[in-house]
Amino acid sequence: MIFERGYFDNYSVNESEIIKSLDKIRDFSASSEYTYKPTVFLSHKHDDLKDLRGVVGVFEKYGAKIYIDSMDNKMPSETSGDTAKRIKKVIEHCKKFVLLATEKAIESYWCNWELGIGDTHKYINNIAILPMKDRGTYDHNYKGNEYLQIYPQITYNKGFTNIHGRYFEEGYYVEKPEDKNGTIYITELKQWLNQ
């Protein structure tokens, strides 16, 4: 499933709520991990803030604390090598890495660079793509289809589904790409965040 823009609007949190949830994350240092688990580095394009707020709401519903680089007061005021060093350290120390894979994020050099760092430190069990397309567009036109072939993706199951004798209830899941035997592994999002 590729989510459409606006899909997460019902979960949307305002900026002050995001800032409140980031209080501990703002004090992040490379020498100590967060005291609140699970932690998620949420890679995104800054233009996607409206959709990002809803995604943050979903993760917070499951008890996750979200790191958003644009709200980190330890970031340099201007993008520099220090910015890249800070992002690398935070990705390494966050428990999970998620890319909000909108069309703009897929085209972003920074998001792709962050995905590469996430791949290095989190692949395959602690990384996921949250694919998002423009409203009214077809899934086959989504620019990130190649990402979905190699990275786990966050998806939504609309009702009871029987897959090889196992029933999956309605809710959010992390689905790994099909392995060489044609097997797909699916984990509830809440469980994945806490693994």
- The Cα 135–Cα 133 span in angstroms is 6
Q: Using an 8 Å Cβ cutoff, are 127 and 154 in contact?
A: no
Taking the C-alpha atoms of residue 176 and residue 130, their distance in angstroms, rounded to an integer, is 12
At 69-107, the pLDDT tens digits run 877 778 888 888 999 999 999 999 999 999 999 999 999
Asked if pLDDT for residue 130 goes beyond 50, the answer is yes
**CB 129 within 8 Å of CB 150:** no
Q: Do 96 and 127 form a contact (C-beta atoms < 8 A)?
A: yes
Residue 164, SS3 per DSSP: coil
Strand pairing category for 171-175 and 166-168: unpaired
The residue-averaged pLDDT of 11-29 equals 62
In this prediction, residue 68 carries a pLDDT of 87
Are the CB atoms for 52 and 179 separated by under 8 Å?
no
Distance CA 46, CA 52 (A): 9
Distance from chain centroid for Cα 158:
20
What is the reported pLDDT for 30?
44
Q: Give yes or no for a contact between 26 and 90, defined as CB atoms under 8 angstroms apart.
A: no
pLDDT interval class at 31 (50, 70, 90): very low
* Token pair belonging to 62: 């499951």
Instruction: Indicate if the pLDDT at residue 158 is higher than 90.
Output: no
Q: Are strands 3-4 and 39-43 parallel, antiparallel or unpaired?
A: unpaired
In the chain, what is the greatest distance between 2 CA atoms, to the nearest angstrom?
A: 54
pTM of the prediction? 0.88
Query: Half-sphere exposure of 41 toward its Cβ, with a 13 Å CA cutoff?
Result: 26
Is residue 148 within 8 Å of 141, Cβ to Cβ? no
Question: Do residues 100 and 40 make contact, with C-beta atoms less than 8 angstroms apart?
Answer: no
Domains and CATH numbers, the chain: 3-150 (3.40.50.10140)
